Structure 1
Amino acid sequence: MNDLALIFALASVATGLVLHVLPDRPARWFSMIAAAAALAVWAPLALLWLLALIAATWAAMRGGETRGHRDLPVALVTAAALAALLGLRELPGIVWLGGAYFTLRNLHVLFDWWRGRGVAPTLADLARYNLFLPVLVAGPIHRFPEFQREWRRRRPGVEDLAAGAERVLMGLASCVVLATRFDDIAREPLRVIEVPSFMARWLLSACDWVYLFFVFAGLSAVAIGSARMAGLKIEENFDHPWRARDLAGFWLRWHMSLSFWVRDYVYQPVAVAMRSPVAGVAAAMLAMGLWHETSLHYVLWAVWQAAGIVVSHLVLRRGPPLPRRIGGIVSPVLILGWLSLAGPVLALALGGGAP
């Protein structure tokens, strides 16, 4: 975990503590000001990008309701938002903090409005939804209606403070202590191998997945705990992913807010339009891959993961079921094996693999 992520995690905790003691109206303003100030200091161009996207999203909905035409403004803002996400973050030397997250948040609000699932939010409500410090760096990609409801119900008490502090401590232990120790013990010896074998690359890739779990599950716990201290409950992001019985189940437990976003706005529309769940899976994993990085590597990564989901579904559907206890041991090993095998295989495919 880098220093900037830790700084924002600690700033999130401080924000949660301040919000805990503030009454409703000052808390709403402080929440936005704290997030904007943090971005202004550490990632000023990301703040400008976020403010522009908030303004464009609100203007599209406001204009659509005024003129009665929703398709064109939604298409224009969606195209601009995705172009910015896929292009701006690849510019070198610039910190585009949180862009992948706030892009999906605004598109979620825009798409739900386009579908007629709610009225356009006010500019202040949309800004408050986006400018919430605990979720800026590593999610969750919380949903607007639930966040609004939490602000209306907000009555922070001692129970919220205690429960939030417990989640924060568990999260910091995961992303700082466990991740660092695991990196020193497991990953570092593999990284220093001058000419790693295929198996060494595979093992390092598996260690990378475990390390990512410690870091991002920990950061998510800090975000959830900080929000809880403020009297707000936001969505969980990890639900024991290594207990999943297949790859599809894993992705519904790993970075859940991203998986659910992709399920609702990519998988389901594509699967229905194409009348093909396989096409939906392929589109969903491609969206998830490009969300992480605009590169050929992540396009191939998406193909690999989609193939794994389809194959594991067919095996479970047609093969004999494993006894529960055996499945509880074998399934996580197979899932981690497939996820991590993408590392050395794609390295070979792209010309950077071991002999």
Structure 2
Amino acid sequence: MMWLSDFGMLFIIATTVLYYLLPPTWRPWLLTAGGCLLLAHDSWTSVLVWTALLAWLALICGPGWRRHALVQKIGLAGLLIAFAGYQYAKAWQGLLPYLGFAFVTLKAWHLIAEHGTGAYRQGRMASSLSYLLFPPTLLVGPVQRYDAFRMEALRARWDSQTASRALERMLYGYCKIVLLANFLLANKLQSLHGLSTHVWLDTYLGLLAYGLDLYWQFSGYCDIAIGFALLLGMRVPENFNFPFAARSLQDFWRRWHITVSEWCRDFVFRPMFARSNNYLAASLCGMMVLGLWHELSPRYLAWGLFHGAGLGVVHLWSKYSPLAEKLRQYKAWRVASWFLTLQFVILSFALTSSPTIAEAISKLAILSGLHF
């Protein structure tokens, strides 16, 4: 990943220094230029794809269209088609992901859905571009709403204590990635894989290692992003909050990939639930969208359905079972809830860690004792 390279580290230092040397009115353009530089360093195809997306946003959000609602719907439909095409090309034609494209579409959705047309006429072109191309969160998020970003940019000031906390947070991220994921898990513990000669244990430990690697890598890069933004005097939302300590599936999704989960809750789950008044259907729909956002493939669709069904079952149990409220009073049940939630999440990794549905089913069969 870019932040571990010499270029990435020099970029962080140079951007921070220039940010405080420039007048506040120039800072959004510096952030925009920095984001463009990251795209160009990645590949020119990323630049072309982002240029097309920004041109579409300029067309939808720039002029003060008379038929505001219609243009808004056209803008969102265009985003959906573009993202579906991107995911299809990535999944079935083996194209490399364009840098940060999955995350910028969520930001673009925020801009169109919450602000609509005429935004650039209100003097927000610079802040909108810096929001979309914000270098700290360009690669892997977290995803922030535009209004929150704009307020943070307006009150950004240099503060030595804040800078110290920022560097500390970035160090946490580097330790997670370099020491825990790349050294301890990949180099040391990986050599133990397969030594037990027990198929069930090897399969389970493989999924556990996959989940830990995913968490340490992703949360580590988010720590670097949050620290980098804090160096610029700007706070961005947290993306992880000890997800493997969750005591229910709902609690897990309030702790794992928080900003994308909240986006899915606000723009998919809640509208669906408001129309259908069916929690299970809304959960299935929301998690299917979240799965396909990650990858347009049968395995991620199955992963979304798996989590959506789990959320529905847990909700029904909590709402309608007379035992649910009584059992929460006991520490043993709280421990059991944590354990069951963790096992459900680990089982779901069988779907995302396997290249095919058939292989995922084989792993689940081994873990369930149905494999002979």
Same fold, TM-score > 0.5, yes or no:
yes
The alignment partner of 2:96 has SS state of coil
Provide the C-alpha distance between the structure 1 equivalents of 2:351 and 2:102, rounded to a whole number of angstroms: 26
In 2 relative to 1, CA 172–328 (structure 1 residues): closer, same or farther, beyond 3 Å? farther
Taking a change above 3 Å as real, the CA distance of residues 226 and 281 of structure 1, as seen in their structure-2 partners, is: same
Counterpart in the other structure of 2:79: 78
Q: How far apart, CA to CA, are the structure 1 residues paired with 2:351 and 2:227?
A: 38
For 2:317 and 2:270, the matched residues in 1 are separated by 23
Q: How does 1:250-269 map to 2 (within 5 A)?
A: 250-269=252-271
Bigger-Rg structure (1/2): 2
- Measure, in 2, the Cα distance between the counterparts of 1:128 and 1:348: 37
Q: In the alignment, which residue of structure 2 is the partner of 1:13?
A: 12
Q: Residues 337 and 59 of structure 1: is their aligned pair in 2 closer, same or farther, counting only changes over 3 Å? A: same
2:29 aligned with 1:29 = yes
| Residue of structure 2 in register with 1:238 after alignment | 240
The two structures have a TM-score, normalised by structure 1, of 0.88
Asked if the contact 1:19–1:27 (Cα under 8 Å) also holds between the matched residues in 2, the reply is yes
Q: Between the two proteins, what is the percent identity of the paired residues?
A: 25
Match of 2:344 among 334, 338, 354: 338
In structure 1, distance between residues paired with 2:33 and 2:206? 41
How many residues were matched structurally?
352
Moved more, 148-157 or 8-17: 8-17
118 and 45 in structure 1: CA distance in 2 versus 1, 3 angstrom threshold:
closer
Q: TM-score, normalised to structure 2's length?
A: 0.84
Query: Does the C-alpha gap of structure 1 residues 117 and 46 become closer, same or farther in structure 2, counting only changes over 3 Å?
Result: closer
Aligned match for 1:273, one of 262, 272, 275: 275
User: Partner residue of 1:288?
Assistant: 290
> Aligned pair in 2 of structure 1 residues 188, 286: CA closer, same or farther (>3 Å)?
farther
CA change 1:21–1:224 in 2 (3 A) is farther
Q: Distance in 2 between matches of 1:252 and 1:51?
A: 33
Contact 2:136 2:229 in 1 (8 A): yes
* Superposition pairs of residues 19-98 of structure 1, within 5 angstroms: 19-63=19-63, 65-68=65-68, 69-90=70-91, 91-98=93-100
SS at the partner of 2:358? coil
Task: Give the 3-state SS of the residue equivalent to 1:234 in structure 2.
Answer: coil
**Aligned residue number for residue 201 of structure 1:** 203
Task: Name the Cα RMSD after superposition.
Answer: 3.0
Do structure 1's residue 189 and structure 2's residue 192 form an aligned pair? yes
Report Cα offsets for 1:261-299 as digits up to 9, x if no partner. Answer: 001111111111222121111111111111111100011
Letter in 1 for 2:313: V
Residues 1:351 and 2:354 are matched in the alignment = no
3-state SS of paired residue (2:217): helix
The code of the aligned residue for 2:61 comes to M
Consecutive unaligned residues of structure 1, counting only runs of 5 or more, are none
The structure-2 alpha-carbon separation of the partners of 1:28 and 1:103, relative to structure 1 and needing over 3 Å to count, comes to same
Change (3 A) 1:79 1:291: closer
Runs of 4+ in 1 over 6 A off after TM superposition: 115-121, 193-196
Aligned mates of 2:311, 2:270 — CA distance in 1: 16
Match of 2:168 among 145, 150, 166: 166
Superposed displacement of residue 321, structure 1: 2.1
Query: Structure 1 residues 156, 298: closer, same or farther in 2, change over 3 A?
Result: same
Deviation at 1:32, TM superposition (A): 1.3
- Could you tell me how far 1:183 is from its partner in structure 2? 2.9
Higher relative contact order, chain-length normalized (CA < 8 Å, sep 6+): 1
Gaps of 5+ in 2: 364-370
